[in-house]
Amino acid sequence: MNGPLIFLLAGEPSGDLLGARLMAALKKKTGGAVRFVGVGGPEMEREGLNSLFPFADLANFGLVEVLPRVPHLLRRMREVAAAARNARPDAVVTIDVPSFASGVWRRLQGAGIPLIHYVAPTVWAWRAGRAKKFARYLDHLMVLLPFEPPHFERVGLACSFVGHPVLESGLDVGAEAGPAFRARHGIDAGVPIVLVLPGSRRGEVRRHLRPFGEALARLHARHPTLVAVVPTVPDVADTVAAAAAKWPRTIVLRDAAEKAGAFAAADVALAASGTVSLELALAEVPQVVAYRLNVATGAVAKRLVRVDYVTLVNLLLDRPAVPEFLLERCRGDLLAQAVGQLLDDRRAREAQREAGRAALGLLRAGDKRPSDRAADVVLDIAAKGKRR
């Protein structure tokens, strides 16, 4: 007898990795009997998904930038929904990309297929009304943050906190990884390393490269031996490398296998806001977080955002443990000053490490890995759907 058929949809690198881990957990729990169809990236394809089309087609970059791409995205929504109806899976699991995913859910209403979404929209930060929209279409929501379930349960949507995938990132490596990375790249012990993480999407990377480069130039004037290390992803590697060629003493890492070593070797980090802030906390790298939007998107965000912080460590702890420089404050001079203070102040670095450990403790949902808990939820709902 065939195992369950799961239709998956992911549209960004983070969702692709999340989907791949979910697929691996589902295969383990079903003895390899589970089958997959849908849309995903290279990580999901390595786990056995034959993507219906390149998942990069679904990428969008902000409230304003997405507008010219609406016709294309609507066409892809219709294609995905039609493929799901034809496949008749035991469950559909959409991962992040909520704006696109909601168009697929709407087109699957009445099809008798359980709809599960993985990664909640940030209704606690802005556009709280989205919780009702999710409840209207979905059978279940799997969330990453412990404070998220009440926002959806109060509008009638079943919700499971499965834990945050950063706990499976493999960045909590042994003590030898840092010295080994330095040796491979010819960086002497005692030479300060600054991780530079401008993002994984083309739009955000382009917005951050200039202020990050300006910050490095200022830092290098004060710390002449400083080395910048920039782990990157294939979609933006060439853009990053072109900019970094003008920066002082910079190593651009294109090999994903080098990431853990770089994190282990780093003294501090300058990062675009996102999940990477939790990865840095896991690796115990003190950080400064920045984020810049284009002018129009930033103006909209200022009116809509209802939280005091954007960095996940700060949100979890409800205090400014990690310095944030957002929108017009994402400037080279301010970033250089904040990173320099961390480099110069051992107690400030240790305070951040302690805050990171406290925040990560809040992200665990029992003893199981997040992907295993998510797989349990998917298989349970798929089985119930088959009995309808």
List pLDDT tens digits, range 33-63.
999 999 999 999 999 999 999 887 776 544 4
Q: Quick one: angle between helices 202-222 and 234-244, nearest 10?
A: 30
Model confidence at 71, in pLDDT bands (50, 70, 90)? confident
**What phi and psi, each to the nearest 5 degrees, are found at residue 371?**
-65, -35
Q: What is the DSSP letter of 343?
A: H
Domain ranges of the chain: 5-163+365-386, 177-361
Residue 298 has pLDDT above 60, yes or no: no
| Rounded Cα gap, residues 300 and 316, in angstroms | 25
Question: Among 2.60.40.10, 3.20.20.10, 3.40.50.2000, 3.40.50.2300, what is the CATH number of 5-163+365-386?
Answer: 3.40.50.2000
Average per-residue pLDDT in the chain? 89
Q: Where are the alpha helices (DSSP H) in 228-322?
A: 234-244, 259-265, 276-282, 295-304, 312-317
Superfamily grouping for domain 177-361: Glycogen Phosphorylase B; (3.40.50.2000)
Q: What is the DSSP letter of 369?
A: -
Please report which helix (H) or strand (E) contains residue 293, including its range.
none
Across the range 177-186, mean pLDDT stands at 95
N residues, the chain: 388
Percent of the chain scoring above 90 in pLDDT: 71
Fold match between domain 5-163+365-386 and domain 177-361? yes
Beta bridge partners, 230, equal: 252
Angstrom distance (rounded) from CA 281 to CA 349: 11
Average pLDDT of the residues in 103-109: 94
CA terminus-to-terminus distance, the chain: 19
Q: What is the pLDDT of residues 138-152, one digit of tens each?
A: 999 999 999 999 999
What is the mean predicted confidence (pLDDT) over 151-158? Answer: 94
